[in-house]
């Protein structure tokens, strides 16, 4: 397994001071591509603009005349009819119109057979293109700060971004002229900056509540090695939802104007310091917001973050009090209620010594430096959901389990099910359920050119490889001919957060029924294969059967086929046992016939010697 090299905070990605000789190949920076704001870093140094500000608002404005503005310049066009202003585009990354759900209602969504696009004055623009504009702006800002070209980046993503959303992020970077060295999870990036800087060891929870997403990661830090024990999260829960809750106290149901959203963000931030804030916009149901009523409005959202945290801790096999510390990440963790509830749940005061808006970018910058220069610390990230294949009977075979450290690979050997089979179909699935139909379908492909032979004679090796970005490649190879097929799993749309939550919840709630269904499916497949093998044997060696023995076998077969029409596994097992008993003498007669053919014309001592050699070789 390839392990990532992480440098200590304070060590820059630069090999020379700013203003020095041009860097060969350009700089590698770290980027926190956030829902509300985005930040760039070179090593552990946050890159700031001429105004000294690090945060670039993740806002893009498209003008009727073709102008594209980013950041504060885009925000200034919020009420300009000649511009369409887009906020929180991250919520649409890797999603279809159907999967976008409520998030899609915030945007001029124009669904097409080719995927989700936005209608920008009659022109189709994808979420990938919008994100690319933000990345271009960060790239230019970094180049102005560093005085040299920026060509590579480590970009952070929510831990629960699925394969499609991660792929969309890479595509956006490519459009922006950036080579992606690595995608790393946001909580993990924060740990690089925070945990290593403090020299901490033990188990830590990284609670990351940003503008649009929430992630919780449980990490074990030991001798410079980070291992992510478990992750959980919601890609549609964050500060944007706090804004909506606050606006619900003041106005009737949305959609809300950009001015109202801007004021909500300002009021929310001010309430972190004061008990009440007057409102400037007119037309609302009140003129003052009290911190107490605001906290009551967001209480359910905060509780939701703690419920997700409980799931991550359960996956890690830990109680809250067994963590050594809690790291708060993301601007929304400045909310006093969030800090108070986190302290109450984990039983310890959260660690807040690093700027929560900048810590993720700092970790990404450190990682960028490590990948271009190398240093002495290690990071192991994990898979958010299990990956596997569908077997005969619809059973899911897991090759890589949820929370497996990545990069990761697993190889499993499969064989043919029927005589003369020259091809094999593969169905790759994602999820925690026992049956493939209850999991998410990722890809289907077929391996052809398998040498024809009896069932079970072929050997096909299937390899699952998940790279450091969490992207999956599946390869199937027939070992004799070398015939091979490969598929890179890049679904056309992402997994909605509510769907992911449902998948995890149902895997627990339906564990007993799932196991029962799996055992039934496996027994069915075994029984069907037993019938196929026996029918073939009778067709070949029927002369070995007396009429009454054949009748007994056929009667047992009829009972087994009748049992297979139902869902009583015990009945199927009993029928299989009865068929085995009825065909026992026939099986023995076939074995004797085969033995007779083997020894025919040979000396007794030669047969005995061969048998001795075979036994010795086992």
> 266: which 2 tokens?
């300002």
3-state secondary structure 219-251: EEEECCEEEEEEEEEECCCCHHHHHHHHHHHHC
CA 603 to chain centre: 64
Q: Out of 133, 208, 295, 390, which one is annotated catalytic? A: 208
Q: Is 198 helix (H, G, I), strand (E, B) or coil?
A: helix
DSSP summary character for residue 395: B
Max CA-CA distance within the chain?
A: 108
Q: Is residue 428 within 8 Å of 442, Cβ to Cβ?
A: yes
d(CA 291, CA 298): 11
d(CA 190, CA 361): 8
d(CA 210, CA 213): 5
The answer to whether residue 186 is catalytic is yes
The answer to whether residue 516 is catalytic is no
3-state secondary structure 336-387: HHHHHHHHHHHCCCCECCCCCCCHHHHHHHHHHHHHHHCCCEEEEEECCCCE
- Helix H or strand E segment including 59: strand 59-63
Q: Out of 77, 90, 268, 396, which one is annotated catalytic? A: 90
Q: Tell me whether the omega of the peptide bond preceding residue 237 falls within 30 degrees of 0, making it cis.
A: no
Q: Out of 99, 186, 295, 390, which one is annotated catalytic? A: 186
> 212: which 2 tokens?
């649009």
The answer to whether residue 585 is catalytic is no
Residue indicated by tokens 């915030």: 106
The answer to whether residue 509 is catalytic is no
Residue indicated by tokens 């552990």: 44
d(CA 399, CA 439): 14
Instruction: Kindly list the catalytic residues.
Output: 32, 90, 186, 208
């Amino acid at each position: 397994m390839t392990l990532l090299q992480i440098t200590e905070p304070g060590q820059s990605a630069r090999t020379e001071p700013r203003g020095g000789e041009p860097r060969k190949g350009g700089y590698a920076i770290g980027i926190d591509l956030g829902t509300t704001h985005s930040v760039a870093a070179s090593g552990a140094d946050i890159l700031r603009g001429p105004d000294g500000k690090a945060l670039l608002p993740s806002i893009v404005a498209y003008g009727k005349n073709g102008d594209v503005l980013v950041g504060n310049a885009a925000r200034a066009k919020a009420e300009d009819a000649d511009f369409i202003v887009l906020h929180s585009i991250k919520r649409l990354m890797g999603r279809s119109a159907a999967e976008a759900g409520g998030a899609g209602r915030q945007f001029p969504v124009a669904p097409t057979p080719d995927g989700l696009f936005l209608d920008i004055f009659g022109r189709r623009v994808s979420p990938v293109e919008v994100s690319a504009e933000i990345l271009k702006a960060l790239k230019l800002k970094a180049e102005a700060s560093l005085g040299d070209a920026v060509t590579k980046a480590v970009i952070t993503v929510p831990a629960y971004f699925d394969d499609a959303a991660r792929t969309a992020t890479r595509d956006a970077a490519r459009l922006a002229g950036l080579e992606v060295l690595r995608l790393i999870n946001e909580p993990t990036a924060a740990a690089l900056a925070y945990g290593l800087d403090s020299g901490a060891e033990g188990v830590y929870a990284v609670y990351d509540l940003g503008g649009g997403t929430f992630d919780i990661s449980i990490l074990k830090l030991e001798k410079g090695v980070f291992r992510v024990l478990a992750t959980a999260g919601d890609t549609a829960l964050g500060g944007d939802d706090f804004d909506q809750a606050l606006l619900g106290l003041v106005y009737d149901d949305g959609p809300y104007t950009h001015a109202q959203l801007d004021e909500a963000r300002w009021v929310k931030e001010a309430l972190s310091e004061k008990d009440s804030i007057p409102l400037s916009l007119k037309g609302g149901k009140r003129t003052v917001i009290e911190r107490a009523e605001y906290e009551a409005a967001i209480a359910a959202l905060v509780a939701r973050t703690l419920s997700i945290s409980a799931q991550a801790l359960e996956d890690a096999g830990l109680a809250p009090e067994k963590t050594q510390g809690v790291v708060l990440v993301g601007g929304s963790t400045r909310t006093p209620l969030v800090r108070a509830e986190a302290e109450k749940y984990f039983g310890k005061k959260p660690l807040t010594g690093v700027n929560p808006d900048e810590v993720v970018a700092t970790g990404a910058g450190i990682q960028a430096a490590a990948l271009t220069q190398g240093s002495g610390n290690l990071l192991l990230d994990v898979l958010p959901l299990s990956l596997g294949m569908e077997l005969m009977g619809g059973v899911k075979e897991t090759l890589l389990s949820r929370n497996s450290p990545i990069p990761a690979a697993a190889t499993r050997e499969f064989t043919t099910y029927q005589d003369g089979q020259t091809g094999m179909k593969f169905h790759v699935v994602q999820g925690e359920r026992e049956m493939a139909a209850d999991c998410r379908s990722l890809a289907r492909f077929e391996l052809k050119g398998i040498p024809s032979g009896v069932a079970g004679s072929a050997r096909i090796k299937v390899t699952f490889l998940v790279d450091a970005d969490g992207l999956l490649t599946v390869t199937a190879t027939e070992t004799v001919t070398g015939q091979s097929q490969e598929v890179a799993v890049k679904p056309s749309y992402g997994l909605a957060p509510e769907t992911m939550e449902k998948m995890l919840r149902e895997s627990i709630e339906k564990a007993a029924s799932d196991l029962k269904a799996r055992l039934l499916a496996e027994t069915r497949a075994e029984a069907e294969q037993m019938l196929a093998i026996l029918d073939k044997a009778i067709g070949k060696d029927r002369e070995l059967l007396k009429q009454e023995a054949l009748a007994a076998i056929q009667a047992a077969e009829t009972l087994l086929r009748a049992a297979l029409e139902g869902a009583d596994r015990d009945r199927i097992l009993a029928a299989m046992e009865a068929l085995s008993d009825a065909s026992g003498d026939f099986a023995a007669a076939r074995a004797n016939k085969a033995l007779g053919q083997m020894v025919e014309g040979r000396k007794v001592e030669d047969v005995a010697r061969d048998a001795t050699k075979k036994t010795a070789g086992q």
